[in-house]
Amino acid sequence: MEHNEYIDWKLLVRRMNGELSKEEEQKFLMWFAKDPRRKEYYERMVAEWNSDIIHESDMPKGLAKLDQFLYLQRKKKHRVMLRRRWLKWSVAAVLLVGLINSVYMLRRMRVEIPENTSIAVITPGESKAILILPDGTNVNLDRVVDSTDTFIGVAKIKRNEGTILFEEDKRGSEMEYNTVVTPKGGEYHVVLSDGSKVWLNADSKLKFPVNFGEGGREVFLSGEAYFEVVHDERHPFIVETDLGNVRVYGTQFNVRRYVDEEEIKATLVDGSVGFAKNGQEEGEYIKIEPGYQIRYEEGQEVVVQKVKVHNEIAWKNRQFSFERKPLDEIMKDFMRWYDVNITFEDESLNELYFSATLNRYGNIETLLRFFEEGYDIKFEINGRNIKIRRK
């Protein structure tokens, strides 16, 4: 390996903080994959960075000693002490918040990347979706190559923003529907013709009218979505699912209803919403206040409980956040976001509980190391298949 094949140490530091753009992340992955010694270099850098006290002016000199192929600055005029309070926000692209009832000291954290693993294979999700027009035409929203805003009928695709905006089609009167589908490893932002905003999580589908009629504004959801609904008393907004409907009175809220999960969850951030099981009338809607969540499983009673809203909508804020959550439920979100298949060698491992806040755009190998810190478990990665077993 030649000496001129180097990477700026500031980029490596920013990666540990989870601050890289997609282009910078690809640059890092390419640099990382070219030489096995870089794995050791990066691990040792993380260990050094996570020590009790680090002086920024010492970093270039210290890192230069770790590997001869990096050219680093050796003199800094400015000397800044990075104390532990700051460091707890920067550990290998992971924001770590405690495990079960304790917080790990960052100096004990280590990044371990398994041998014979291609880190470039599994990447975080990105803005991509399929738009299905009323006539059945499919438009791949991540493959539009025009460098400017693109128009498809009354839909406007905002380039490089992962957003599609719909305008009212005054030409037609029939009730026609558009559908936006996000695959595993995808997310997308939709602005409906009434101005209401919807953020779709991975593996989700939203069906909605091209034009909202004179009555209610009904949309159909499978998966998970965050809504900011424009208030309109004369035209109530209703999110329909296969288990029941969420009636909206002008608000911000999250709805989660994946077909491989037994329940629907509606979490209110601001405003007011109500929920009714299929077949119930308008007067039977159960209303909740901000900070509360409605949960319903078919055949059971509706449950209303106060929740930590941050955990429920963390996905929209670029995070995984969970508190005393079983490992199998956490891994479902990992599978959808990273488009991988995760299996348990021992079913008893399903019920291990974790609490943390992690960077949703972090490298999956780094994130999985967090779980290994708390229990005697090991993640084995083979392509897009991941097996969880006891060490």
Rounded CA separation 236/233 (Å): 6
User: d(Cα 207, Cα 130) in Å, to the nearest integer?
Assistant: 12
How far is residue 293's CA from residue 312's CA, in Å, rounded to a whole number?
A: 9
What is the reported pTM? Answer: 0.70
Residue-level pLDDT at 58: 39
C-beta atoms surrounding 8 within 10 Å: 14
Q: DSSP string of 150-178?
A: EEETTEEEETTTTEEEE---TT--S--EE
Question: Given the structure tokens 């290994």, which residue do they identify?
Answer: 372
pLDDT at 374: 77
Q: Which residues of the chain have pLDDT under 70?
A: 1-6, 8-10, 17, 40, 43-120, 143-149, 159-160, 170-174
pLDDT score, position 47: 59
C-alpha span between 26 and 10 (Å, rounded): 15
Neighbour count for residue 167 (Cβ, 10 Å):
15
pLDDT of 211 reads 84
Between the alpha carbon of residue 309 and those of residues 112, 257, 261, the distances in Å are 32, 17, 20
First to last CA, the chain: 35
Give which of 3, 47, 31, 49 is closest to 119, Cα–Cα: 31
CATH class, range 126-311: mainly beta
| Alpha-carbon span 10 to 27, nearest angstrom | 13
Angstrom distance (rounded) from CA 246 to CA 238: 6
In the chain, where are the structural domains located? 9-90, 126-311, 317-390
pLDDT at 250: 76
Assign a CATH topology to domain 317-390: Phage tail protein beta-alpha-beta fold (3.55.50)
The Cα–Cα gap between 363 and 380 comes to 15
The answer to whether the CB of 70 falls within 8 A of the CB of 63 is yes
Q: What is the distance between the alpha carbons of residues 175 and 153, in angstroms, rounded to a whole number?
A: 16
| Cβ neighbours for 314, distance < 8 A, ≥ 6 positions apart | 320, 321, 357, 360
Q: Is 351 exposed, middle or buried (0-12, 13-18, 19+ CB in 10 A)?
A: exposed
Give dist(CA 104, CA 8) in Å, integer: 29
